[in-house]
Amino acid sequence: MKHFEVNFDGLVGPTHNYAGLSFGNVASLNNAKSSSSPRDAAKQGLQKMKALADMGLQQGVLAPQERPDIYALRRLGFCGTDGEVLQQAAQQAPAIFQAVCSASSMWTANAATVSPSADTANGKVHFTPANLTNKFHRSLEPQTTGRILTAIFNNERYFQHHGHLPDNEHFGDEGAANHTRLCSQYGHAGVEVFVYGRHAFDSSKPAPSKYPARQTLEASQAIARLHGLSDDNTVYVQQNPDVIDQGVFHNDVIAVGNQNVLFYHQQAFAETSAKLQEIQQKFGDDRLHFIEVKTSEVSVEDAVNTYLFNTQLVTLDNGDMAIIAPTECQENDAVAAYLADLVSRDTPIRQVHYFDVKQSMRNGGGPACLRLRVALNDEELAAVNPHSLMNDALFDRLNQWVDKHYRDRLSVDDLRDPQLLDESRSALDELTQIMRLGSVYPFQR
Ligand SMILES: N=C(N)NCCC[C@H](NC(=O)CCC(=O)O)C(=O)O
């Protein structure tokens, strides 16, 4: 049986914009109110997907969400026709209005936590959409995310879908951005590492003081229970509260793992050596490569600005690993020098490939934020909705679809345009046909 890691990238939605919605995410705050290009953003994402598919990797696509979210506005008391709801909200509550327009579902590392069948008690692949409670605009995502995941992994023999955790900060869950899996082969049982920012039920424990810790230990433990993971294969690690206060709002901004490699910054974790020991002990006898980047080599500030760790670490057909990095890493001398040296060392990482994902980076989303990793064996892969898997035909079709429906420029003020809602709905309606997703969107139900 063959085993793969399939990266499901989020397709950027037609309302992609910079509204400064994410306190604690430095790029989101710094670029607030700049104008965006939804078309460029979607195309940059598609280019990355196509390039990874061309490198021989399995690549999937996840559909974006319906925005503006009229249903959220109705729940908040705005009423009348859809046009009236939009108009009232834009006038009376502009900040809420901007939040319901966000295309943030593009960062599918936050869509869900996924445990492959080799790790779970019932031998199925488990999915739990993240509740994303820490940010209002993101908390609107999990229901539709769950429907999209169910439409793509639509076979109960192989796939088990859970509801998102209770919508409360005690169970704040940011999905795969705070979860990584180490294994010797994708199809072998691995060690699932959950990284949390704070304890929700024990205020005596350390926590950041300036920016929020979005993920709680208790949420991570709940996911592990739901997915039927064993204690022997699960490790909980606390993120260093100081780095959260320096803008590391998700663990995937300071660490990334793949197979037998954990690539992380010296300051990423609390109690680093004890936790690395636990990971190695649960991993077993095979060699794990812990690649630690010292502060003297790359500062936390440079890591946050360039997203050195928000890179994808992928395994190529010949067994070598490649880093998929944003061009911001190439543009920073210290980081570019670090990466050039890294690939010459005796580790599995042999190549670096740079991608322009600037439209996403300006909102704090690098290459790794844009993808949800799903390790599958060939039988499971055959059960995945084939219209969500990237190939030349789907790439061309989605580019045409973007050209037809997406705006070239969008400012925060343009979000008030009632036509944007119609444009977004027609785009998504056509997309559900292209990807054969059924009626996943509220406007279709
Ligand atoms: N690190 C990972 N896995 N994902 C990045 C998510 C970025 C996203 N930015 C935003 O939602 C900004 C939207 C705005 O400001 O318009 C967030 O903060 O949740």
Range of the domain at 431: 3-67+102-444
C-alpha angle 111-72-358 in degrees, rounded to nearest 5: 45
Nearest CA to ligand 1 atom 2: 369
Instruction: Give the amino acid at 127.
Output: F
Q: Is 260 annotated as a binding residue?
A: no
In our burial notation (b when 16+ CB lie closer than 10 A, e otherwise), range 155-168 reads eeebbbbbebbeee
pLDDT for 401:
98
Pocket of ligand 1 (CB under 6 A): 17-22, 25, 28, 102, 104, 107, 109-110, 135, 138, 177, 249-250, 252-253, 363-365, 369
- Within a domain: residue 306? yes
Q: Of 292, 385, 282, which Cα lies nearest the Cα of 338?
A: 292
Residue 261, φ and ψ in degrees, nearest 5: -125, 130
Cis peptide before 68 (omega within 30 of 0): yes
CA gyration radius, the chain: 20
Q: Of 381, 313, 418, 399, which Cα lies nearest the Cα of 12?
A: 399
- Respond yes or no: is residue 405 known to be catalytic: no
Describe the chain by its helix, strand, coil percentages, rounded to 5: 40, 20, 40
Residue tagged active-site, from 141, 164, 369, 423: 369
Q: Is 214 annotated as a binding residue?
A: yes
The answer, yes or no, to whether residue 287 has pLDDT greater than 90, is no
Q: Token pair of 210, please?
A: 């300036």
pLDDT band (50, 70, 90) for residue 79? very high
pTM of structure: 0.98
User: Please, are residues 357 and 367 in contact by the beta-carbon 8 Å criterion?
Assistant: yes
- Respond yes or no: is residue 16 known to be catalytic: no
Q: Is 425 annotated as a binding residue?
A: no
Nearest CA to ligand 1 atom 9: 363
The answer, yes or no, to whether residue 232 has pLDDT greater than 90, is yes
User: Please, are residues 326 and 306 in contact by the beta-carbon 8 Å criterion?
Assistant: yes
- Respond yes or no: is residue 353 known to be catalytic: no
Q: Is 364 annotated as a binding residue?
A: no
- Within a domain: residue 388? yes
- Within a domain: residue 77? no
- Within a domain: residue 352? yes
- Give CA–CA dist 314/355, Å, rounded: 14
> Which residue carries 């109705």 as its tokens?
74
The answer, yes or no, to whether residue 408 has pLDDT greater than 90, is yes
Q: Is 110 annotated as a binding residue?
A: yes
| ipTM of model | 0.99
**Residues whose CB falls within 8 Å of the CB of residue 16, separated by 6 or more in sequence, listed in order:** 36, 37, 38, 41, 42, 103, 106, 359, 410
Report CA(184)–ligand 1 centroid distance (Å).
31
User: Please, are residues 111 and 252 in contact by the beta-carbon 8 Å criterion?
Assistant: no
pLDDT for 85:
97
Nearest CA to ligand 1 atom 17: 22
**Residue 385 belongs to domain with CATH number:** 3.75.10.20
Mutate to test the pocket of ligand 1, among 29, 141, 249 (most ligand atoms within 8 A of CB): 249
Residue 87, φ and ψ in degrees, nearest 5: -60, -45
- Within a domain: residue 375? yes
Cα within 13 Å of Cα(74), Cβ side: 11
Ligand 1 atom with minimal separation from the 31 CA: 15
Per-residue pLDDT of 21-46, as tens digits, reads 999 999 999 999 999 999 999 999 99
Report CA(265)–ligand 1 centroid distance (Å).
21
Distance (Å) of CA 300 to CA 88, 220, 227 = 43, 25, 33
Q: Token pair of 204, please?
A: 């005596």
Ligand 1 atom with minimal separation from the 310 CA: 1
CA torsion sign for 198, 202, 208, 211 is positive
Q: Of 260, 342, 262, 258, which Cα lies nearest the Cα of 298?
A: 342
Report CA(104)–ligand 1 centroid distance (Å).
6
- Within a domain: residue 134? yes
Specify the number of domains making up the chain: 1
Q: Token pair of 263, please?
A: 């690539």
Interstrand relation of 371-377 and 312-315 (parallel, antiparallel or unpaired): unpaired
- How many Å from the N-terminal Cα to the C-terminal Cα in the chain? 39
Residue 289, φ and ψ in degrees, nearest 5: -100, 110
Query: How large a percentage of the chain has pLDDT more than 70?
Result: 100
User: Please, are residues 253 and 307 in contact by the beta-carbon 8 Å criterion?
Assistant: yes
Complete DSSP assignment for 37-61: -HHHHHHHHHHHHHHHHHTT-EEEE
- Within a domain: residue 295? yes
Instruction: Give the amino acid at 141.
Output: E
- Mean pLDDT for the chain? 97
The answer, yes or no, to whether residue 285 has pLDDT greater than 90, is no
Residue 187, φ and ψ in degrees, nearest 5: -90, -5
Ligand 1 atom with minimal separation from the 368 CA: 3
CA torsion sign for 96, 100, 104, 108 is positive
Give the single-character DSSP code of 312.
E
User: Please, are residues 321 and 313 in contact by the beta-carbon 8 Å criterion?
Assistant: yes
pLDDT for 286:
83
Average pLDDT over residues 260-268: 98
pLDDT for 158:
98
Residue tagged active-site, from 5, 141, 174, 380: 174
Report CA(138)–ligand 1 centroid distance (Å).
8
The answer, yes or no, to whether residue 241 has pLDDT greater than 90, is yes
Per-residue pLDDT of 418-434, as tens digits, reads 899 999 999 999 999 99
pLDDT for 358:
97
**Residues whose CB falls within 8 Å of the CB of residue 286, separated by 6 or more in sequence, listed in order:** 184, 260
- Within a domain: residue 92? no
Nearest CA to ligand 1 atom 6: 365
**Residues whose CB falls within 8 Å of the CB of residue 305, separated by 6 or more in sequence, listed in order:** 26, 328, 332
